[in-house]
Every structure is written in structure tokens, then in C-alpha cells.
Amino acid sequence: MSKRTTAILPPRKATADAAPSPARAGTDRMVDLIAVCSMLGISKTTIYDKLRNDPTFPKSKKVGIRAVRWSEQAVKAWRDALPEYEPMSPAKAIVRRT
């Protein structure tokens, strides 16, 4: 038997003037549930609640028997369309009577 060796090569350095390949230029990445959770900062349960109750939330696409993915562009567009968060005014101090 001969031993098989595998060469470990350093990663290629991207050049600044390199354009993306035409095959990938207009494609949209499909991301899984964990990636959607991290992009939006919400839990899995909240994602599934939004799928059921929020008609504006992006729909998932089934890509396998037990796998679903979301369009990254659709999720980012939904996130960017949300109204800005406005914190509540600070509560007045509670004065205790003694």
C-alpha cells in the first residue's frame, strides 16, 4: 500500500480589481434558520411565529426532506423595512412614603 498525501495550500488572495464571476453575479444566497436568527437577532421560535402570523415576513423554501432555507436578500429587505426602534421614555422615579 502506498501512503496518500494531501497538500495543504494557503488560501488564494483576492485581488482588488477582480470582478465577481458572471455565474454568481445575479444569484441570491439561501441561508438556514440559524443564519436568519443571527441576521435578525431573534430566536427560532420567534421566526416560526412570524411565519405563521406576519404576512410580510419572507417565506421559507423547502430544499430537502427536512431542510428549509430563506433568501438572504428577502430577509435583509424585510429587516431594513422595519421601523426604527424608539426606546420608551424613562419611567419616573417611584417615591416611597414612610
Model pLDDT, residue 88:
59
Instruction: Give the ranges where the chain is alpha helix by DSSP (H).
Output: 33-40, 44-53, 72-81
Model pLDDT, residue 19:
52
The CA distances from residue 34 to 6, 11, 44, in Å, are 33, 26, 8
60 contacts 51 by C-beta, under 8 angstroms: yes
Residue 95 has pLDDT above 70, yes or no: no
Residue 62 has pLDDT above 90, yes or no: yes
Chain centroid to Cα 10, Å, comes to: 29
Residue 11 has pLDDT above 80, yes or no: no
Q: Mean pLDDT in the chain?
A: 78
Residue pLDDT, tens place only, 12-60: 665 555 555 555 555 789 999 999 999 999 999 999 999 999 999 999 9
